[in-house]
Every structure is written in structure tokens, then in C-alpha cells.
Structure 1
Amino acid sequence: MSYDLAVWEGERPADDKAAGRAFTDLYDRYVDTDTEHPATERIAAYVAALLERWCDLTEDVADTSPWSTGPLIGAACGPLVYFPMRWSTAEEVSSYAAALADSMGLVCFDPQQDRLRP
């Protein structure tokens, strides 16, 4: 079981409902398509900052990576990164990931609970 977060560039939506619509729109445009969209510079920097804290799943020899997919940058599509993490580490990792997104001026959304983070 995994826990997913979505982080994207743009204005912070006014509320959870607007964030849900924004996430669906971004997902439809960038993820659920046959066209490849390389990560934007800001999203790539965000992913790199996450990987400074925890190693990528593809480089995890000690089974300590919290990510459920690898390479993590592969979850980035244009201005959006939609990434899963291990359920057992979700509380700590999602808290850090949400705070990091906020510090970098990015929007963080929890699709399981349909709410903005932090």
C-alpha cells in the first residue's frame, strides 16, 4: 500500500475543491497522455531536494528509501510531480514533502483526502 502526493507549480488554489479540480486538470494534461513532458526546472529542483533527504528507490541498497517508485524524477511530468511513498513512512515523509513544497513556492495536494497540504 502506498500514499500519494501531488506537487505542482502555480497559484495556490483558494480551497480543497479548487485544488482537486486543478490536480485533475494537470493530471489529464500531463500524466494521462501519450506525450512525454519533461519536468520543469522548479519541479526537478523539488525532486532533487527530496532526494537529498532520502535516496532514490533505484539506488536503495539498504531498503531505506520511502519512495514506492523509481527513479523519482520519473514521476514528474511538466509542472507536476505525482509520487507514491511507502505507507509505513507516509506521515514523516509527506510532512517533510509538503513543507518543502511550501518553502519552494509549490502547491502540495493530498489526492487521498482531497485536500491541500500543509
Structure 2
Amino acid sequence: MSYDLAVWEGVRPADDKSARRAFRELYDRYLDGEVLEPPSERITAYVAALLERWCDITDDENETSPWSVGPLIDGASGPVVYFGMAWSRSEEASAYAAGLADSMGLLCFDVQEDRLRP
């Protein structure tokens, strides 16, 4: 089981209900379709920054990566990335991922809690 986050570019929604709606629209448009778009420059930079902290699970020889799937960039399309992490590492990794998104001017949506972070 994984703990999932979505990070995207855009204007911060007014509340969590609006964020949930925005997430669903982005997911349906960019991640659930048959053709994925290349990730935007900002999303690519965000994923690269995550991978500077912890390696991609596909390169994890020492089993230190919190990511549940890889390559991590495969969860990105256009202005959004959707990714999971192991429950056992989710507290630390999700806090870092949310803080990083905020520092880069991106929005972070916690799928389990159905709310924006931080």
C-alpha cells in the first residue's frame, strides 16, 4: 500500500473541496488518458529535486528510497505529477515533498486526506 501525493502548477484553490475538483480534472486530463504529455519544465525540476534527496526506486540498491514506483518521472504529465511512497516512509517523505513543492511555487494535494498541503 502506498501513500500518494499530487503536485501541480496553478493558482491555489480557495479550499480543499476546490482542490479536490482541480486534482480530479488534472488527473483525468493528464494522467488517465491514453496519451501523456511531456512533463512541464517546473514539474521536471520538482521531480529532479525529489531525486536529489532520495534516489529513484529503480536505482535503489540500498533500499533507502521512499518511492513506491519508478521511474518517478513516469507519474508526470504536463503540469502535474502523481506519485506514491511507502507507508513506512510517508511521514518524512510527504513532509519533504510538500515543503519542496511550496518552495518551488507548486501546489501539493494529499490524496489520502483529500486536502492541500502544507
Which bin holds the TM-score, normalised by the shorter protein? over 0.9
Q: Distance in 1 between matches of 2:113 and 2:56?
A: 26
Could you report, residue by residue, the CA deviation over 1:44-94 in whole angstroms, capped at 9, with x for unpaired residues?
000000000000011000111100010000011110000000000000000
Q: Note the aligned Cα RMSD (angstroms).
A: 0.5
How many aligned residue pairs are there? 118
Tell me, yes or no, if structure 1 residue 5 matches structure 2 residue 1.
Answer: no
Consecutive unaligned residues in structure 1, runs of 5 or more: none
1:113 CA drift (Å): 1.1
1:42-53 → structure 2 map (5 Å cutoff): 42-53=42-53
Consecutive unaligned residues in structure 2, runs of 5 or more: none
* Partner of residue 23, structure 2: 23
Give structure 1 regions of 4+ aligned residues with deviation exceeding 2 angstroms.
none
* Partner of residue 79, structure 1: 79
Q: TM-score when scaled to structure 1?
A: 0.99
1:51-90 → structure 2 map (5 Å cutoff): 51-90=51-90
Could you report, residue by residue, the CA deviation over 1:4-53 in whole angstroms, capped at 9, with x for unpaired residues?
00000000111100000000000000011001211100000000000000
Q: Distance in 2 between matches of 1:36 and 1:116?
A: 24
* Partner of residue 115, structure 2: 115
Q: TM-score when scaled to structure 2?
A: 0.99
